[in-house]
Amino acid sequence: MFFRLAADAVVLVHVLFILFALFGGLLVLRWRWVGWLHIPAVVWGAVVEFFHFYCPLTPLENTLRSRAGMQGYSGGFIEHYLIPLIYPVGLTPQIQLWLGGVVVLCNVVVYSWLARRLWPRRKSV
């Protein structure tokens, strides 16, 4: 029972991390110090998507599920949990590139807006 709950907790942390990487820039608009956590999260999320890496949380979840007597899964977290919800077909490298691009684009927009707000342009004399 403990290992199953631990595996489910890993899934929850994984989902929260993905949401933070996607939308954490909005938190930076309110609390600027969050940027010190958010920018590395965005970089990690983009690197994982662009280079088709598996997040280390996926093998951890599979290990915990195995210890709980359950079956793990092949592939990554996104392929197993998110893609079946969003796309009717399997994950392709092209879709992963698009997902990584969405992460970067969402955050470039937010940080650009924040930069304009913090550093207004000086009027030339």
Q: What value does the mean pLDDT of the chain take? A: 79
CA–CA distance, 70 with 68 (Å, rounded to integer): 5
Two tokens at 12? 């929850």
Taking Cα atoms as reference points, which of 71, 67, 18 lies closest to residue 46? 18
Residue at token pair 């933070």: 20
Q: CB of 103 within 8 A of CB of 22?
A: yes
How much is the CA Rg of the chain, to the nearest whole Å? 18
Q: How confident is the model at residue 49 (pLDDT cuts 50, 70, 90)?
A: confident
pTM above 0.85, yes or no: no
pLDDT for 38 beyond 90? yes
Position 123 scores a pLDDT of 61
Domain boundaries, the chain: 2-118
Q: Per residue in 55-108, pLDDT tens?
A: 788 888 888 888 888 776 666 655 566 556 544 456 677 877 887 788 788 888
Position 77 scores a pLDDT of 59
Taking Cα atoms as reference points, which of 7, 104, 110 lies closest to residue 48? 104
